[in-house]
Amino acid sequence: MKTKDIVLAGILTAFSIMIPLWFGGVLAVTIPPFSATIASHVPVMLAMAVNPLVAVVVGLGSALGFLLKGLPLVIVARAAMHPIFAFVGAQLVKRGVPFTGALAVTLPIHAGLEALVVLPFGFDMYSALVIVGIGTALHHAVDSAISLAVYRSLISAKVFPSVTRTA
């Protein structure tokens, strides 16, 4: 792995831990039993544009951030799904799929995983599939829009690899 990739992994992991710790209350949206921290997926999504290993590491950092925040285990379990959708997205980008396409393809994967992981916590099918699943899909879409704006800025600043297409 290149030094620049390691640095990006460190920076994005730090952000993925800090967002739930510092902004969990300010950027939180709660529609019981669903909750979301706006922008919490942005570092994970940006990591998809670097490489699969960086995406997984940043996804694990995201789960760690929610764990350190002391949130309920069900929320930590949902965040533990981030490395999976991030790995899939990074593989797509690596294979030449545009960043926007990778974000779109990972939306149902992300929403589905988070809907399924809450079932062992006593969620009924409606709450899991409709509230958590659709809530996660909407949250993914919002964070995708933020990620695209940041990604394009980072490409312009020559901070991020420009080998991936954005549209």
Which residue(s) pair with 31 in the sheet?
34
Range of 119's domain?
3-156
* Full-model pTM: 0.93
Q: So what's the pLDDT on residue 163?
A: 52
Number of domains in the chain: 1
Series of mean pLDDT values for 10-residue runs along the chain (167 residues):
92 97 84 90 97 98 96 96 98 96 98 97 96 97 97 88 54
For position 159, what pLDDT does the model report? Answer: 80
Provide Rg for the chain, Cα atoms. Answer: 15
Strand partners, 166: none
CATH code of the domain in which 152 resides: 1.10.1760.20
| Residue at 166 is within a domain | no
Answer whether 90's CB lies under 8 Å from 103's CB: no
User: Residue 108: its pLDDT value, please?
Assistant: 98
Q: Is residue 167 part of a domain?
A: no
Distance separating alpha carbons of residues 68 and 128, to the nearest angstrom: 24
The rounded distance, in Å, linking the Cα atoms of 63 and 83 is 9
Q: Who contacts 136 (Cβ-Cβ below 8 Å, separation ≥6)?
A: 34, 36, 78, 110, 111, 114, 115
